[in-house]
Amino acid sequence: MTRPRSELVCPAATPWYHCVCRCVRRAFLCGEDRLTGNDYSHRKAWVLERLALLAEIFTIDLGAYAVMANHYHLVVRLDTERAAALRDSEGSKGGVKGDTGVKGDTHPEFTLSWPICEQRLS
């Protein structure tokens, strides 16, 4: 059974997380698709650029990554101090909003509120 992110992510316990994302329906992220002969190698640079941009917006540090033909692995560290500094500098109670550079693509407010985590640790 799946669990909400608020129950899975607890920066007080550990700021480091291993994340995996896999393509579905035989789709290729990058590399050569042997079935169709299409080459998607150019996408790897796109993925790496996007990761760098998102790391800044979401105040995470990218510790390691591996981009393969149909999936990728990330090792990320949540930078709660930088996130708190951004929140304080913006002067907003709700969090920080940012633009990812793609038209119509903005990330939701990022807040430092992990009540379930705090309850489990108390």
Asked if the structure places residue 6 within a domain, the reply is no
Q: Count the Cβ atoms, other than its own, within 10 Å of residue 96.
A: 19
CATH code: domain of residue 108 = 3.30.70
Q: Render each residue's pLDDT in the chain as its tens digit; 122 residues.
A: 788 877 888 888 899 999 999 999 888 899 988 888 999 999 999 999 999 999 888 889 999 999 999 999 999 999 989 888 887 775 444 444 444 444 444 444 433 344 444 444 44
What sign for the dihedral angle of Cα 86, 7, 47, 109? negative
Flag whether 37 is in a domain: yes
Domain contains 1: no
Query: For the whole prediction, is pTM greater than 0.85?
Result: no
For residue 82, the Cα-to-chain-centroid distance in whole angstroms is 16
